Amino acid sequence: MHGLKQKALAVLKRFYGYDSFHPLQYQVIEHVMQGGDAVAIMPTGGGKSLCFQIPALLSPGCVIVVSPLLALMKDQVDALIANGIPAASVNSMQTEAQNRNVIDNVCAQNVKLLYISPERLLEDMNKWSQDLAVSLIAIDEAHCISHWGHDFRPEYSQLFLVKERFPGVPILALTATADRLTRIDIKKQLNIPDAKLFIKSLDRPNISLSVVSGLSGKQKLGRIVDFIEKHNGQSGIIYCLSRKNTETLAHNLNVLGIRAKAFHAGLPTSEKLKIQQEFINDDLAIICATIAFGMGIDKSNIRWIIHSNMPKNIESYYQEIGRAGRDGLKADALMFYSFGDVKTLMSFAHDSGQTLVEIEKLNRMQQFAEATVCRRRMLLSYFNERYDHDCHNCDVCNNPPDRFDGTALCQMAMSAMARTGQNVGFMTLIDILRGSRKSEIVAKGYDKIKTYGVGRDLSQAMWNAYLLQMLQLGLIYIAYEDGDHLKITDFGNEVLYGRSSVMLSRFYYENRVTDNNKKPKSTRVKKGRSLDLEDGVDEALFDVLRGTRSAIAKAAGVPPYVVFSDKVLMIMAAEKPTTKAQFATLYGVAEVKTERYWRQFTSAISQYLSQNAHKE
């Protein structure tokens, strides 16, 4: 099969402009080309699409791609056509006549990749001519088939019929997240018991991870604004817990001169489509969204994700941050975490059916938020993946916690709790410790107790952080059944009476940076720059090329990244090709794109170079 590899590499260069395969891509391609069924689990950005697109280019027939997400289908079809690969989709946005026309084209062997929704495939496949040459059936987002997964879709449950209808055709199931039970389900439901499993590490090393805890709403907004200013002009998503939060936050940002829009399931469809389109086209950089946003968006240059509140489990967190940095360039994920989040999420969990499981997942999420070890290690260990070194791309690695003997501090807090009859919640306890004069404190006589004000040396944020650590260490717990009051555990009592000691991680409110960028406020990155450029990249030229790309994209009615990804533009701004031959050899520049675009880009570069030569 040596010849196959050569052919596959040739096609990769010709149609995509890439020189080598990512790990596992070729193995999957080879396996399905030999007629085997497969389940491929690769992280977002891992290059799943090529696993079925290359076989389409190497086989005589057509590859059918089942996808639940309309927007994604359109995106992929646009991208394929831009690279000169005949692709089409059958979907509910097109008229029946258009869909009919697509199928006729497929039957006439004019289409290499057909994207179709599961329900439509099941409805139509028996009507299609038996002579239709299908070389592979790819099932994208295959975790949707399983009740165990996090996104079950009933329309996926009938897909076992596909194997019956196309018995000799290999099936390739693809997904970015599937735990052990989901994998078993995928094979069973698709009727592919002998499918070979290909699993690529879930790690996304280009995404930096940070968590900031214990801020007030106002401080949080300040941090978000700082973060956005550092990432000026870059695309990002801010996830919020509720529709109302998305609107409030978008409003607050706009008031501060930062253009952002709210996106949630309550908006009319037309409005949602419009916002999504603006975002995809780089006309709108920031979206404040509920989790509904981001599914089915293939935008490769999302540079950052903020979680305004802690997500409900690690699976959701990982999926959401995974939407950033699909192009492999640096991206930042920042999560805010507060006691209020835990409370809200806990009440959601209590209201849902699967309480115990959800609470357990929430606890794991909280442990992640409070991690004092490398966050990536924690994440990957959660997904049962071995990762035996520190990542140096998370806030814990970059700013290792400093431990100190926190026994006295914990005793202070628990003594105050004991003196109120363990009858207060988080915020009141902090008020007592800090000696607040709030009317409810005075009214209840809390200003008379012995420990009133003993902790006024520590800020509110510090107390918040230390109380959270006490919670996590099992010194105290929250009695949800008793007004969320804090109670002392047996272990807490041991500490309170001096029989045990506790180490806490020091909390530096000012030092704990939001995004691994240890720059103080005064050296903010200058405006207008859209990327952290790599060495050797001419920044001004990069901006010129962005302009060229944007003009081409507008004229063609496609998103800018369908023309070229940020990564390709960056390489172009470093290599500065001025001839067609130079242009053609660039990473990510395929044959068709060379023909279509070399003139515009090389002349923009030549013009830029001559203008700059003048200046010097």
Rounded least distance, CB 100 to Zn ion, Å: 54
- For Zn ion, which residue of 38, 42, 111, 397 counts as binding (CB under 5 A)? 397
Burial 382-394 (b: 16+ CB within 10 A, else e): beeeebeebbebb
- The two beta strands, 293-296 and 331-337, are unpaired
Which among 336, 327, 261, 326 is positioned nearest to 306, based on CA atoms? Answer: 336
Contact pattern from residue 563 through residue 602 relative to ligand ADP, giving x for each residue in contact according to CB under 6 A and a dash for the rest: --x-------------------------------------
- For ligand ADP, which residue of 29, 39, 44, 486 counts as binding (CB under 6 A)? 44
Helix (H, G, I), strand (E, B) or coil at 305: strand
Phi, psi of 437 (to 5 degrees): -100, 15
Rounded least distance, CB 233 to ligand ADP, Å: 20
Residue 494 binding target from Zn ion, ligand ADP, none, CB below 5 to 8 Å by type: none
Using rule CB under 6 A, residue 288 touches ligand ADP? no
Contact residues for 37 (Cβ-Cβ < 8 A; gap 6+): 170, 171, 172, 190, 192, 194, 195, 196
Kindly tell me the number of DSSP H helices and DSSP E strands found in the chain. Answer: 26, 18
Residue 576 binding target from Zn ion, ligand ADP, none, CB below 5 to 8 Å by type: none
Residue 397 binding target from ligand ADP, Zn ion, none, CB below 5 to 8 Å by type: Zn ion
> Segment 315-354, which members bind ligand ADP (CB under 6 A)?
326-327
- For ligand ADP, which residue of 11, 33, 45, 463 counts as binding (CB under 6 A)? 45
- For ligand ADP, which residue of 24, 42, 106, 142 counts as binding (CB under 6 A)? 42
Contact residues for 183 (Cβ-Cβ < 8 A; gap 6+): 39, 41, 197
Contact residues for 490 (Cβ-Cβ < 8 A; gap 6+): none
Phi-psi map region of 294: left, alpha, beta (phi>0 left; psi -120 to 50 alpha): left
**Euclidean distance between CA atoms 372 and 370, whole angstroms:** 6
Using rule CB under 6 A, residue 50 touches ligand ADP? yes
- For ligand ADP, which residue of 8, 29, 32, 49 counts as binding (CB under 6 A)? 49
Phi-psi map region of 141: left, alpha, beta (phi>0 left; psi -120 to 50 alpha): left
Name the strand (E) or helix (H) holding 167.
none
> Segment 406-465, which members bind Zn ion (CB under 5 A)?
none
**Which residue reads 């999302």 in tokens?**
302
Residue 394 binding target from ligand ADP, Zn ion, none, CB below 5 to 8 Å by type: Zn ion
Using rule CB under 6 A, residue 311 touches ligand ADP? no
The amino acid at residue 95 is T
Residue 391 binding target from ligand ADP, Zn ion, none, CB below 5 to 8 Å by type: Zn ion
Give the range of 47-55, 190-198, 308-316, 605-613 binding ligand ADP by CB under 6 A.
47-55
* Residues that contact ligand ADP, how many (by CB under 6 A): 16
Which residues form the interface with Zn ion (CB under 5 A)? 374, 376, 390-391, 394, 397
Which residues form the interface with ligand ADP (CB under 6 A)? 18, 21-22, 25, 42, 44-50, 300, 326-327, 565
